[in-house]
Amino acid sequence: MRRYRIGIIVASHIECSMPDDPMYIPVMAGSALRNHVPEGYLRDDTGDNISTRNDEYCELTALYWAWKNLDMDVIGLCHYRRFFASPQHRNHLLSEDEAMHLLYCYDAILPEVRNYYVETNYSQYVHSHHAEDLVAARNIIAEKYPGYIEAYDRRMAMTKGHRFNMLIMKRPLLDEYCRWLFDILFELEEKLDISHYSENDRRVFGFVAERLLDVWMDKNGIRSTDLGYIFRGNEHICMKAAAMIRRKIRGACSDSIERRWKKLRQ
């Protein structure tokens, strides 16, 4: 049975503890913007790269670098604080042997879905960021990839979705996904004026990409499995939940977001 060469990029912007498993490859995301890249970290500003756009693309600058420059059969992306968990031992990190076993059965591995319950994927984004981000993305998809519009609208209406841009994917599929994703994001970059966005909202292309992964997966019928993830540090779940409720209440007091979304789709 074939043994895949697996490289999982660990995107980071600070020096921190990394797994011992050689499958995990530390990459300093946005290396072009950093004064110092720690020893043992690869840079994402070599070869074909978008390292200087890290403030807007977040961990996607590391994914883009891996896609263009990393010679592996399987490429993955996780974060310095979020790692895929072992399917057998939730408190342990996914090992290379476990990843290999799963990839004999599936083409991709994703993190377990996040369920917003009282929010759709669309309304949750709009309550947190800017509606024009998703509207512009939809317009680009309608023009360049019309076959994906049904999947896009269906995903926006759902309350569940994969987040964090975490994935592990066989190389041929990753090539297809990244060509599609970055083609949309680069055009979105041309369409949006983010000069007035807050520092957080300027990460728009990373945020939009989180919502596009499921669209691509659904449309192409990719065989995937979900794994739990391990968060290193304090995820502030209660604070995030409280903030989401506040945003929901504010949204309910204004013009209906869902009605606006339906109008945009007509």
Cβ atoms within 10 A of the Cβ of 235, count? 11
pLDDT at 232: 83
Instruction: Name the pLDDT band for 2 (thresholds 50, 70, 90).
Output: confident
Res. 191: pLDDT tops 50 = yes
- Residues 248-260, mean pLDDT to the nearest whole number: 48
What is the predicted pLDDT for the residue at 263? 54
- Measured CA to CA, the distance from residue 102 to residue 181 in angstroms comes to 25
Which one has a higher pLDDT value, 243 or 149?
Answer: 149
Distance, CA of 261 to CA of 135 (rounded, Å) = 8
User: pLDDT tens digit string along 95-108?
Assistant: 999 999 999 999 99
More confident: 246 or 165:
165
Mean confidence (pLDDT) of the chain: 91
215 falls within a domain: yes
**pLDDT given at position 35:** 92
- With respect to residue 258, please indicate whether it lies within any of the assigned structural domains: yes
Residue 244 has pLDDT above 50, yes or no: no
More confident residue, 265 or 88: 88
Higher pLDDT: 163 or 244? It is: 163
In a domain, 66, yes or no: yes
For residue 234, give the amino acid letter: N
Q: What is the pLDDT of residue 264?
A: 52
Number of structural domains the chain divides into: 1
- Which domain range does residue 123 map to? 6-265
Q: Is residue 225 part of a domain?
A: yes
Residue 28 in any domain: the answer is yes
Say what angle helices 171-191 and 131-144 make with each other, to 10 degrees.
120
Integer Cα distance of 24 and 89 in angstroms: 18
Q: Name the percent of the chain lying above pLDDT 90.
A: 86
- Considering the domain boundaries, does residue 1 fall inside one? no
Supply the pLDDT for residue 237. 46
**At 170, is the secondary structure helix, strand, or coil?**
strand
* Confidence at 259, pLDDT banded by 50, 70, 90: low
Phi-psi region for residue 71, left (φ > 0), alpha (ψ -120 to 50) or beta?
beta
Q: Which residues contact 177 (CB under 8 A, 6 or more apart)?
A: 169, 213, 216
Reported as a single tens digit per residue, the pLDDT across 208-235 is: 999 999 999 999 999 999 999 999 865 5
Least confident residue range of 102-116, 159-173, 185-199, 251-265: 251-265
Bridge partners (DSSP) of residue 21 are none
pLDDT mean over 187-212: 98
β-pairing verdict for 229-231 and 108-111: unpaired
